[in-house]
Amino acid sequence: MSDNLENSSNMGERSKTELFVKLLTSNHHRIYAFILFMVPNDSDADDLMQETSSILWEKFAQFVPGTDFAAWAMTIAKYRVLNSRKKKKLTVPLSNDVIDLLAGESEKVLDESNERFAALRKCLAKLDKREMLFVKMRYKDGFSARIIGQRIGASAKVVYRSESKIIGLLARCIHRKLAMEGAR
Amino acid sequence: MNKYDKNNFHDLQLLIYDALNGTISAERLASLEEILRNDPESRRYYIEYLSAHAGLRNIFSVDQASDASVPDDGFDKGLWHDLAEYEKSAPAIQIEKPAEKPVVLKLTKPEKTKYKVSKLSIYSVVISAAAILLVVLMVIVKPVRPTVAALTDSMNAEWMNVKDNPAPGDLFRQGDELALTRGIAEITFDDGAVAIVEAPVVFKIESPKSMFVTAGKMTAIVSEYATGFTVNTPSASIVDLGTEFGVSVEGDGLCSLHMFKGKANLISEANGNKRTSQVVVEYEAKSVNFTTGLIKDVTLDERGFVRRFNAENGTVWRGQNLSVANILAGGNGLDFEASYKMLSLESGQYSGVFNWQDRYGTGQYTVVTSNPYVDGVFVPDNDGQGAKVSSSGHVFADCPDTQAYFRYDIAMSVKIPLNPQSYQYNTLAPEEQMVRLAGSSNMPSRLVEPAGMNPQLNAVRSNVLLHANSGVTLDLERIRSVCPGVSITKFHSLFGMGEMAPEGGETDIWILVDGQRKFVRQNVRKGEVLDIEVELSEKDRFLTLMVTDSGPNSNNPTETLHANYDWGLFVNPRLELE
């Protein structure tokens, strides 16, 4: 440990809480995405994100300000994922070897989080009216496929498949944009 | 052209989407695993697909539901028509055939043994494709994240990970994870409980009657009809039993519960240890250790939590009483110390200069316009009609017939030099010198105390000097706006004669509520210290403090002035709140 780095256990409670909230919120997306790669289910990932946040706060005294919070958090998150899997708490449990593979290969995507956000916004702008409506109803309003279907006069199944497809469209659009930017 | 240039991942993305929604079967999960295990490009696509999904969630998360929802009336009819047409021409839906082994679908998460199903249920599921479709639809129709709470007030609030700063009236959805980095916010849950969170705090809206606090502080205000509201933390759950309490989740996972009113059930949720619970009652505080689950007593942090706030006037109430000296000096009462100020009995205006001219009251009540919490001032006297003691016309019929003489304005936070013997005694009376010197900031000083109390160096006290004959009326209704929803239950103060006043003074002290006498003590002499308590109710509007001379009355200036040395001093006058 570097001499000039202060252990967070030496800080006052309020400044410690402020630092934690700042670090957690600024890294929340990366930690959440990392969990989601290992646990590809919204409900499981939400639970694990909450559990991980609590553990991070509990162990925050061990964190050295100035070091990589996200890396520290992801180490803990992976441990929580494996622990939940072992305790059969997961709705969609991938095998340990697959979890290891995914965790190991996620770094590049997570490191590009900001660029990916920017690309996602641009790609959203390219969606047609119908696709954008699906996205908003699903992600903004939190409507189920059935309710969206009722509103637009489509079957839940069509809505469900369309949603799946639209995420794919966006994923590929982001991929292309980042590839183009990398080629410049 | 690689796989990304066209959708070569159609099957994979359906597998991923089924996994995301919890509708994936064991077989399809096995297929997904096999693909991920063996194909690096598919792994890459899987990660990028989920990254896009997480990005969408992030971009659209915690948008104000009121703004976000698509109102029925405002729905784009043309688009509706287009979509209906699209539906007609959409490719036929391929209903998934029953797998060789049954499809097991989950409506909700809890059971952990979901892949173990009985043969009976297997057969019942595989009876027909229609049955499968029905189950698929049941899964898909699962309501997603209903709105369960609303932001009802906030002050200087800044949120992180929220696209737009939520404004009062915006709704929160079940599962919303929120981080308040600045200010204070009030959230009202659908079941009626109110949570006040103070930055920095991280929390999650769990349901219409529960929340999870990851880190930071909050106060729960739960009315009788909302009983059962639950605050979950990493180490404990607090189930309300009709109450008001503060919860703090500190680093190291230490959760503490501070009961301000009523009672609550504290359930230790520590790591794998046996759950224990305790009922915690008013004025108790407990902490729960995250690792051991041990519940222990801690000191009640009475001032550590925001209990109420008023965004309009910027006031924050942390359970303290209101300082009457601070209110009379132009504050809102929440700061204990009052600035050194004088309130003129003649004009009702403030000044920093002490006036010590001999004067007589005119029988008029003077409204104070520069302080919303002070109604007015007057020189008490009674020429047969009583004394007017409020701007609403309340008259104190039993007001004594005084000499109507006064010399000093009402003074707040009077300070004197540490060593009274060091005064320059020339032509001024000692009390005048004291008050004059009080304004000198480079002089060691302390607040004046009434004779009879042990002087304390730099004692933190706030006081109000009401030399006979003077009276001041507070507007309780306006003072209540400082802390909406909080009751003013009592006026409480010490009272005595100023310690530096010469011997011989005798004074009368009166406390009135809406012109009615609630407390009186006559012939108070130097050395006596009174502890005054006056109960107040919600319907009381005006509180009057009044100090008069004692003795036979006459306006003949040649007679002895009975107000001489009647240096009435209120020490720590306060309005107690509940």
- Does residue A106 surpass a pLDDT of 80? yes
End-of-domain residue from the set B77, B109, B140: B140
Q: Count the Cβ atoms, other than its own, within 10 Å of residue A113.
A: 18
Q: Which of B450, B446, B475 is closest to B465 using CA atoms?
A: B450
Domain with residue B234: its CATH number is: 2.60.120.1440
Domains identified in chain A and CATH numbers: 8-107 (1.10.1740.10), 113-183 (1.10.10)
Q: Are B351 and B439 in contact, with CB atoms under 8 Å apart?
A: no
Residue B137 to residue A116, Cβ atoms within 8 A: no
Is B20 in Cβ contact with A42 (below 8 Å)? yes
Contact list in B for residue A175 (CB cut-off 8 A) is 4, 48
Packed helices B119-126 and B129-140: angle between N→C axes, nearest 10 degrees: 100
Distance from CA of A59 to the nearest CA of B (A): 6
Say if residue B114 is in the same domain as residue B50.
yes
- The total domain count for chain B is 3
A-proximal residues of B, 274-293, CB under 8 Å: 290
**Does residue B201 sit within a domain?**
yes
Residue B314, in any domain of the structure: no
Of A57, A157, A172, the CB nearest to B93: A157
Q: Which of B:95-124 have CB within 8 Å of A?
A: 106, 109, 112-114
Report CB contact under 8 Å: B215, A137. Answer: no
Same domain flag for B344 and B440? yes
Each residue's pLDDT tens digit, A23-35:
998 899 999 999 9
Range of the domain at B304: 147-309
Which pLDDT does position A147 carry in this prediction? 86
Q: Could you tell me if the ipTM is greater than 0.85?
A: yes
Residues B566 and B432 in one domain: yes
B63 and chain A in contact, CB less than 8 A: yes
- pLDDT tens string, chain B, 578 residues long: the values are 456 555 678 899 999 999 999 999 999 999 999 999 999 999 999 999 999 999 998 888 644 333 333 333 333 434 444 444 444 444 443 333 333 333 222 222 333 333 333 444 433 433 343 443 333 333 333 345 788 999 999 999 998 866 677 888 888 888 888 999 999 999 999 998 999 999 999 999 999 999 999 999 999 999 888 888 999 998 899 998 888 999 999 877 789 999 999 999 999 876 566 778 899 999 999 999 888 888 999 999 999 999 999 888 888 999 989 999 999 998 889 877 667 788 999 999 998 776 777 889 998 999 999 999 999 999 999 988 999 999 999 999 999 988 888 888 898 876 554 454 554 545 555 555 555 554 443 333 445 555 555 545 445 467 888 988 999 999 999 999 888 888 999 999 988 877 666 667 788 999 999 999 999 999 888 778 889 999 999 999 999 999 998 765 444 445 566 777 788 888 889 999 98
Tell me, yes or no, whether B213 lies in a domain.
Answer: yes
CB atoms within 10 A of CB A178: 17
Of B231, B235, B269, B268, the residue nearest B254 (C-alpha): B235
Q: Does A26 contact B160 at a Cβ distance shorter than 8 Å?
A: yes
Task: Tell me which residue in B68, B199, B216 faces A141 most closely, judged by beta carbons.
Answer: B68
Are residues B515 and B466 part of one domain?
yes
Inter-residue contact B464 to B328 (CB < 8 Å): yes
Torsional class of B169: left (φ above 0), alpha (ψ -120 to 50), beta (otherwise): left
Please tell me whether residues B68 and B102 are part of one structural domain: yes
At B256, which helix (H) or strand (E)?
Answer: strand B255-268
Mutate to test the interface with A, among B37, B41, B48, B108 (most CBs of A within 10 A): B48
Q: Which of B85, B119, B140 is the last residue of a domain?
A: B140
Q: Please indicate if any CB of chain B lies within 8 Å of the CB of A23.
A: no
- In this structure, is residue B315 part of a structural domain? no
- CB-based burial, B333-367: b 16+ in 10 Å, e otherwise: bbbbebebbbbbbbebebeeebbeeebebeeebbe
Rounded CA separation B327/A97 (Å): 68
Work out the minimum CA distance from A98 to partner chain B, whole angstroms: 6
The band of A148, judged by pLDDT with boundaries at 50, 70 and 90, is confident
Residue B206 is assigned to a structural domain of this protein: yes
Question: Are the Cβ atoms of B86 and A13 closer than 8 angstroms?
Answer: no
Q: What pLDDT, on the 0 to 100 scale, is given for residue B451?
A: 57
- Closest-CA residue of chain B to A41: B20
Same domain, B510 and B369: yes
Asked if residue B428 belongs to a domain, the reply is yes
For residue A75, the distance in angstroms to the closest alpha carbon of chain B comes to 18
CA dist B201 and B216 (Å) reads 4
Record: contact B43-A25, CB cut-off 8 A: no
- The total of other beta-carbon atoms located within 10 Å of residue A150's CB is 15
Per the CB < 8 Å rule, is A171 touching B45? yes
Min Cα distance B435 → chain A (Å) is 40
Which residues of chain B does A120 touch, with a Cβ-Cβ cutoff of 8 Å? 52, 55-56, 59
Same domain, B484 and B340: yes
B408, B282: one domain = no
> Helix A156-183 to helix B10-21 angle, to the nearest 10 degrees?
120
Is A144–B141 a contact, with Cβ atoms under 8 angstroms apart? yes
A128/B contact by beta carbon, under 8 A: no
Chain A hits for B164, CB-CB cut-off 8 Å, are none
Spatial neighbors of B319 by CB under 8 A, at least 6 apart, are B260, B302, B303, B305, B307, B577
Rounded Cα gap, residues A41 and B237, in angstroms: 26
Where among B309, B335, B357 does a domain terminate? B309
Residue B82 included in any domain: yes
Both tokens of B68, joined, read 């976000």
Q: Of chain B residues 437-456, which have a CB less than 8 A from chain A?
A: none
Give the separation between CA B324 and CA B482, rounded to whole angstroms: 13
B250 touches chain A (CB under 8 A): yes
Per-window interface: A 51-90 vs B, CB < 8 A: 53-55, 57-58, 60-61, 87-90
Are B44 and A163 within 8 A, CB to CB? no
Instruction: Determine the residue of chain B that is closest to A40 in CA distance.
Output: B20
Q: Please check whether residues B296 and B387 belong to one and the same domain.
A: no
Give the span between the Cα atoms of B342 and B436, in whole angstroms: 11
Interchain CB contacts (distance < 8 Å): A and B: 272
pLDDT at B98: 34
Interface test with B, best of A18, A74, A92 (most B CBs within 10 A): A92
**Rounded CA gap, B197 and B185, in Å?**
5
Q: Are residues B426 and B349 in the same domain?
A: yes
A177 touches chain B (CB under 8 A): no
Query: Positive or negative, the Cα torsion across B433, B439, B444, B446?
Result: positive
Q: Which helix (H) or strand (E) holds A151?
A: helix A145-152
Residues B351 and B246 in one domain: no
Question: What's the CATH code of the domain at B466?
Answer: 2.60.120.1060
pLDDT of residue B54: 94
Task: Mark whether B113 and B166 lie in a shared domain.
Answer: no
Nearest residue, CB atoms, B37 vs list A32, A101, A159: A101
**Nearest-angstrom CA–CA distance, A80 and A48:** 7
- Confidence check: pLDDT of A140 > 90: no
- The answer to whether the CB atoms of B177 and A49 lie below 8 A apart is yes
Whether B7 has its CB under 8 Å from any CB of chain A: the answer is: yes
User: Quick check: is B63 in a domain?
Assistant: yes
Residue A130 Cα, gap to closest chain B Cα (Å):
7
- For the beta carbon of residue A42, count every other beta carbon within 10 angstroms: 22
Q: Is B133 exposed, middle or buried (0-12, 13-18, 19+ CB in 10 A)?
A: middle
Its sign, for the CA torsion B555, B556, B559, B560, is: positive
